[in-house]
Amino acid sequence: MRSLGACSARGPIRNRTLVGYDPRYAFVFLSENTMSVIVPESELPQELSVEAAVEAAYASTLAETATDLLRGLPVLIECDKELMPFLFMNVRARLRQHELRCLFLDGRNPPEGQMPQGIISNMIGQLTDAVRGAVDQRVVVLPHLDLLVTSQGGLTSEAKEVVALLYENPELVWLGFKDPSFSLPSVIENLFPHRHSLLGIARDRLPHLITQKEARKFGRRFNPWTLYKYVSGMNAARLRRMLSTLEGEDYPDDASRAFAQIRQATSGGKLEVPNVSLESDLGGYRKVKQRLKSEILDILARKDQSTSPEEIGRLEGLIPRGMIFWGPPGTGKTLFAKAMATEIGAAITIVSGPELKSRWVGESEENLRRIFHKARQSAPSIIVFDELDSFASARGTYTGSGVEHSMVNQLLTEMDGFNSEELVFVVGTTNFVDMLDPALLRPGRFEFHLQIPYPDTEDRRAILQIYNDSMNLQFTDEALDFAVKRTGDFVEGAAAGTRFSGDHLNALCRSLARIRLRDDKTGSTETADIERALTEWIDRPKMTSAEQKVVATHEAGHAVVNLFCEHAKPIERISIQGDAAGALGFVQYQDPAHRYVVTRGQLLDDLCILMGGREAEQLLLDDISIGSAGDLDRATDIARALVEDFGMGSPDVGVVSFSSKRPNSDGRRSGLSASQLEAIDRSIVQLLQDARERAASLLTKHRQIVELLRDELLEKQSLDARSIAAFMDHANA
């Protein structure tokens, strides 16, 4: 019976069936026309040295290298340092069969008659002797080309002597070895017309690199394709050393112990292998999770379960390797990447974009090369570039030193070097997806875009419930409802426009936990505790009683007008505590039932509500404050949009849009006649005047309710939706 390696090279076995089961031949035929990836134990080698493993893993490349050298063609091999000696010995043995000598210049010993010096000086001495003393054709081996290169990718001062020597004697044939973490200057790379990259191992060679004894640690049915998921980035020498140390029983029902040992070895003990559950550790975000599962995780799971080479190859071609997780700060983009890594058993490397940059030429690209090389060695792995836009913004928009352009090119080069068999993913997180270089976003690179927005009501409830359980906060049902609603607006004490993210909810719950600890509280968390956690340390303005009366009157005016406008949004909360950024008081509204269609009636009601605060001050205080400046600004914008953009102004303006007209330096619309400009301004002013008169009429009609609500606010400082409903029931009784 032939091995899988031999069969896969010739295509699938056809028209064969399997009857019965024997653990020595533990493979399965899925159908008459498809061979399984399960390999019979008897087809695996009984013993295997490192040298034999290197031959088995890279036979075709080694044979091609020897052929090129015999033809007098220099060859450059990119490989790990630990693999280099075994490759050299294999090539040397092949060349000896043709009586071609090799000269190994490792810089350990100086040329005869010279004092010992540093490695590079010794190497230059050896090279000089080889170049100027050689009279016959020979292969000169340069095992440490990276020592000739600076960290910035240029040549060291000593290396400049070497370059001239490399081109001096045409009788010499060069065999160079390059570390994948370093790039070589073109003046050295151009010396090698033939180049090979031996990073990791090919999947079809893996059955030739594991012994029967080692395969028994993975159960009765050895699937090398499942193992390959964890060793794709390892070279053959390292793989042999790792497999020879496997511990555990033979033919276990659960092979997790063997895979855990491999995972520990491939991660090197340095990379994080996270333990974040997509379901139990990340609350809410049902659609985000569903998309991540259906387009990535479910396909990977199906691939792992398949034993058909054809199906596995097809599924691998469907999985995007580059992903963009984008959304506002604090929404859990990196946490989703960790959850994805947990689901597929991957190590994760989190790289900050600004940390990659270096002032030294070439060092930023070198940093990228090392990160990708380490990730491939530790596959399955995920590289997370946090703040990807910090160096990968659209080319032509850079304002720095220009290193960003080179970093983007290097990133694209590394991503293009992936093959479909490797489980290495690249996730870029950003708050500004529109700023990214378009070359990164095309299919084949960062083609999978996952938006992670601010949490909605359902998401906030789920997130708070997770922290409630993990921190033992003991929310009452009423407190949880209050927390969900209370965190639906902007964050108090933060920059204007900042909404509650997952990080803010985490901070809220940790603040509650600290309060419970300080107060030695063991009972339930109430709504008052949540309000305290949100506002206890906010530096609120110290208003006098007269100032508070003005603010309460103003907010009561907004609220009462809202309550009697047909198209207004329901009120969620009213406050005069000065706990909103830049405002002494505010009225917070619930999320609208209709978010995408806005009518003229809604906009006219918005104008009326905005005028309510100013008109309430005029009605009850017989004076007005400057606190309505922001209201007037927003109202004017709405009125201008009604007239100029939406064709909803007065009849003398007409149903026409002026939004395409650019304003002049004086702010007026260009290309319009004086009569048109006058009609536009007159229509805007009329809309604002109508809204003001309508608000004044509503407040006069319901003056008693305005006064009662003002007094209620002065007493309680803050009212939620339930309190407002109770107040209105009492006021209308």
CA 567 to chain centre: 41
Q: Rg for the chain (alpha carbons), in Å? A: 36
Distances (CA, A) of 532 to 520, 529, 589: 16, 5, 21
Interhelix angle 600-621/629-644, rounded to 10 degrees, is 150
- Distance of alpha carbon 430 from alpha carbon 325, whole angstroms: 7
Tokens 């395409």, residue? 660
352 neighbors 386 (Cβ within 8 angstroms) = yes
What are the backbone dihedrals phi and psi of residue 193, each rounded to the nearest 5 degrees, phi first? -70, -20
520 neighbors 526 (Cβ within 8 angstroms) = no
Sheet of 75-78, strands arranged across: 102-104, 138-142, 172-178, 75-78, 194-197
Long-range contacts of 570-574 (CB under 8 A, 24+ apart): 570/721, 571/721, 571/724, 572/485, 572/488, 572/489, 572/720, 572/721, 573/485, 573/486, 573/489, 573/718, 573/719, 573/720, 573/721, 574/713, 574/718, 574/719, 574/724
Q: Could you write out the DSSP letters of every residue in 120-133?
A: HHHHHHHHHHHHHH
Distances (CA, A) of 570 to 407, 484, 564: 51, 16, 11
Which structure tokens are listed for 1?
């019976």
Which structure tokens are listed for 77?
């091999």
Cβ-proximal residues to 660 (8 Å cutoff; 6+ apart), any chain:
none
Tokens 């290309």, residue? 671
- Distance of alpha carbon 508 from alpha carbon 530, whole angstroms: 8
Write out the H or E segment, with its range, that includes residue 348: strand 347-352
Q: Could you write out the DSSP letters of every residue in 495-547?
A: STTPBP-HHHHHHHHHHHHHHHHHTT--SPBPHHHHHHHHHTT-------HHH
Sheet of 571-575, strands arranged across: 586-589, 571-575, 718-720
What are the backbone dihedrals phi and psi of residue 196, each rounded to the nearest 5 degrees, phi first? -130, 140
List the end-to-end C-alpha distance of the chain, in Å, as a whole number: 93
Catalytically active residues are 555
Which structure tokens are listed for 242?
């790792």
* Bridge partners of residue 475, in order along the sequence: 525
Which structure tokens are listed for 553?
């009157």
Distances (CA, A) of 487 to 208, 458, 588, 593: 59, 12, 11, 18
Cβ-proximal residues to 266 (8 Å cutoff; 6+ apart), any chain:
230, 231, 233, 234, 242, 347, 377, 378, 379
Kindly report the length of the chain. 733
**Angle at CA of residue 499, ends 498 and 502, nearest 5°:** 120
Q: How many other CB atoms are found less than 10 A from the CB of residue 539?
A: 8
